[in-house]
Amino acid sequence: MTTATPQTAPDEANPLGPESQFHARFDDPRWALALIRATVLEAAHPQIGAALLDNSTFITHPWRRLRNTFLSMRRMFDADPAVREREAARLNRLHTRMSGSDSRGRAYDAMDRATRAWVIATLFESGVTMCRLSGQPLDQDTMERMYAEYRSYLAALDGDAGELPEDLHDFWRYFDRVVENELENTEAARVILYRLFDHLPAPALLDSAPTLWAAGRAVAGPLLGAITVASLPEPYRRRAGLPEMPGAPTLMQGAYLAAGLARFLPGDWINAENIIEVLSLRPGSDDPRARTVTALRTRMKRASALLRLLTPLSGDPDPDPDPAPTAATGESRRTAQEFFRQVLDQTGDGHLDWPDLAAMARELSTRLDLDEPEETRLYDAFATWWRELQAALDTDGDGRISIEEYAASVPSLAGPALIRVAEVLFDATDKDGNGTIDADEHRTLFRTAFHRDLTTTDGTYGRSAFVGHFLSFMSGRRTSTLYDPLLTDA
């Protein structure tokens, strides 16, 4: 027996607008489980799995990836068609830059139409599945409306939705065929299931309590993995050799039921945007919620200290989450190895190559919400810097830079190309082109306070100061209250 969902009149002229089924369920807590499931099904596709491993920051910066994905989906379902068109154009530019080959020599291209259709298919199917697993299956009319919305989503990206069947009944045959014949036990899918949760870094809210986070992650990680595996289509689980854990189906249904009940909490408590923003806040931010975050962090530090006393997780003390800065500069130095792992290796594969610098350009472009030609100028500046780094540091000629090659380099790498990156970034941040960065422009890039983050006293941030701070961070291997949240935090 199906459970009806409150209906709103569909807007056929604007299927992705505020009356869509997507909007009705956007803050549904069950999406936390369903999106993990959809991501595994995406990563199990050979082309998507290869693109994720080569280009994505989902291993090293999962919270950043979550926030950017959330913002993109918000824009793609905005009531204003112009906002949707602009976001679709941005996504297409981003995907155009992602192509290559996997470990077996098979080519992948993020603009492949069939592959992009599979991404949309996993989101729709996981949305339907999350309702079914939580005991509230969608009725046929609601499913058809929702499917039409996701086809409109694909059409906004590709110009048409021809890669997905027009009829919902045909969609299920299409979905089963891809699961049966095309999905593989890819490395990217294995990383999400078995490594991502085990090594998931703390969000900014919890980064001052490493012991508390590690203890909770040690319990929650395997449970999330088991729940996700149990929710995957049985043909894929069989072909991929995924384990059948006793009790996992019951645990999975219990998790979806509990998440479903959470939707009856007050709206502000489960608002996805509020949750993501609060998790991302750091002390010192001028966001009104920062005071609450600071109080929570203080309590978590105490809980973490108590946990270390009662149940130490290892013989080694916890690393100091807030290394002591130098009195003169408010900064502290990193070793070459630390800087390589924390800043340069954005994709987490242990090497520095173009996808790492492209990930930096992508994050900066996303923060600044750049259009053309500013976005291409920023990517081009990073590409020139990559060629300069490769020429100087790639001593074995393998096309990438190892941590050993980087550590053996001269301490400063502030060459002309890096200076150019800083100048282009300044121009992109200085939206009004007046030669200085004001408080609003500053927050757009850094999402932090203005005066407290700078040593300037005239209320502006000039080009020379901006370039100097950027070079100090990128070449001097110094910590920075500005750039760490931008390029280092998860």
Per-residue pLDDT band for 480 (boundaries 50, 70, 90) equals confident
User: Is the residue at 287 inside a domain?
Assistant: no
Is it true that the peptide bond before 373 is cis, omega within 30 degrees of 0?
A: yes
User: Which range marks the domain in which residue 434 is found?
Assistant: 336-488
Looking at the structure, do residues 340 and 251 belong to the same domain, yes or no? no
Per-residue pLDDT band for 233 (boundaries 50, 70, 90) equals very high
Dihedral pair phi/psi, residue 334, rounded to 5°: -105, 150
Give the pLDDT of residue 408: 86
Measured in residues, the chain has a length of 490
Percent of the chain with pLDDT over 70: 79
Per-residue pLDDT band for 7 (boundaries 50, 70, 90) equals very low
Looking at the structure, do residues 356 and 219 belong to the same domain, yes or no? no
Non-local (6+) Cβ contacts of 485 within 8 A are 204, 282, 446, 447, 448
For 49, the token pair is 């799995």
Looking at the structure, do residues 259 and 352 belong to the same domain, yes or no? no
Give the pLDDT of residue 328: 36
Final residue of a structural domain among 219, 239, 263 = 263
User: Is the residue at 294 inside a domain?
Assistant: no
Give the pLDDT of residue 141: 94
311-320, 347-356, 413-422: least confidently modelled range: 311-320
Question: Of 348-352, 382-386, 445-449, which one has max mean pLDDT?
Answer: 382-386
User: Is the residue at 274 inside a domain?
Assistant: no
Looking at the structure, do residues 72 and 221 belong to the same domain, yes or no? yes
DSSP string, 229-240: HHHS-HHHHHHH
Arithmetic mean of pLDDT, 386-395: 92
Arithmetic mean of pLDDT, 32-47: 93
Task: Tell me, letter by letter, the H, E, C secondary structure of 97-157.
Answer: CCEEECCCCCEEECCCHHHHHHHHHHHHHHHHHHHHHCCCCCCHHHHHHHHHHHHHHHHHH
Looking at the structure, do residues 344 and 215 belong to the same domain, yes or no? no
CB 388 within 8 A of CB 398: no
User: Is the residue at 1 inside a domain?
Assistant: no
Residue, of 148 and 325, whose pLDDT is higher: 148
| CA–CA gap between residue 73 and residue 22 (Å, rounded) | 10
Looking at the structure, do residues 248 and 391 belong to the same domain, yes or no? no
User: Is the residue at 219 inside a domain?
Assistant: yes
User: Is the residue at 238 inside a domain?
Assistant: yes
Looking at the structure, do residues 467 and 352 belong to the same domain, yes or no? yes
Per-residue pLDDT band for 431 (boundaries 50, 70, 90) equals very high
Using the predicted structure, report yes or no on whether residue 64 has a pLDDT greater than 90. no
Final residue of a structural domain among 235, 263, 291 = 263
Per-residue pLDDT band for 396 (boundaries 50, 70, 90) equals very high
Half-sphere exposure of 180 (CA within 13 A, CB side): 6
pLDDT digits (tens, 9 = 90+) for 337-348: 889 998 999 998
Give the pLDDT of residue 273: 66
Looking at the structure, do residues 344 and 255 belong to the same domain, yes or no? no
pLDDT digits (tens, 9 = 90+) for 158-197: 999 999 999 999 999 999 999 999 999 999 999 988 888 7
Looking at the structure, do residues 455 and 353 belong to the same domain, yes or no? yes
User: Is the residue at 380 inside a domain?
Assistant: yes
What does the mean pLDDT of the chain come to?
A: 83
Using the predicted structure, report yes or no on whether residue 310 has a pLDDT greater than 60. no
Specify the amino acid at residue 450. Answer: F
Looking at the structure, do residues 79 and 209 belong to the same domain, yes or no? yes
- Write the Ramachandran bin of 461: left for phi over 0, alpha for psi from -120 to 50, otherwise beta: beta
| CA–CA gap between residue 489 and residue 204 (Å, rounded) | 7
* Counted domains in the chain: 2
Arithmetic mean of pLDDT, 23-35: 79
User: Is the residue at 478 inside a domain?
Assistant: yes
Give the pLDDT of residue 316: 42
| CA–CA gap between residue 109 and residue 399 (Å, rounded) | 20
Write b or e for each residue in 282-319: b if 16 or more Cβ atoms lie within 10 A of its Cβ, otherwise e: bbebebeebeebeebbeebbeebeebbeeeeeeeeebe
Using the predicted structure, report yes or no on whether residue 26 has a pLDDT greater than 90. no
Question: Of 183-197, 301-315, 367-381, 410-424, which one has max mean pLDDT?
Answer: 367-381
Looking at the structure, do residues 447 and 366 belong to the same domain, yes or no? yes
Final residue of a structural domain among 263, 296, 314 = 263
| CA–CA gap between residue 20 and residue 16 (Å, rounded) | 6
CATH at 452:
1.10.238.10
Looking at the structure, do residues 141 and 257 belong to the same domain, yes or no? yes
Arithmetic mean of pLDDT, 443-456: 72
Using the predicted structure, report yes or no on whether residue 320 has a pLDDT greater than 50. no
pLDDT digits (tens, 9 = 90+) for 199-222: 777 776 666 677 777 888 888 888
Non-local (6+) Cβ contacts of 487 within 8 A are 343, 346, 360, 363
Q: If you ran DSSP here, which 8-state letter would residue 333 be given?
A: B
pTM of the entire predicted model: 0.81
Question: Of 12-21, 426-435, 446-455, which one has max mean pLDDT?
Answer: 426-435
For 341, the token pair is 């792992």
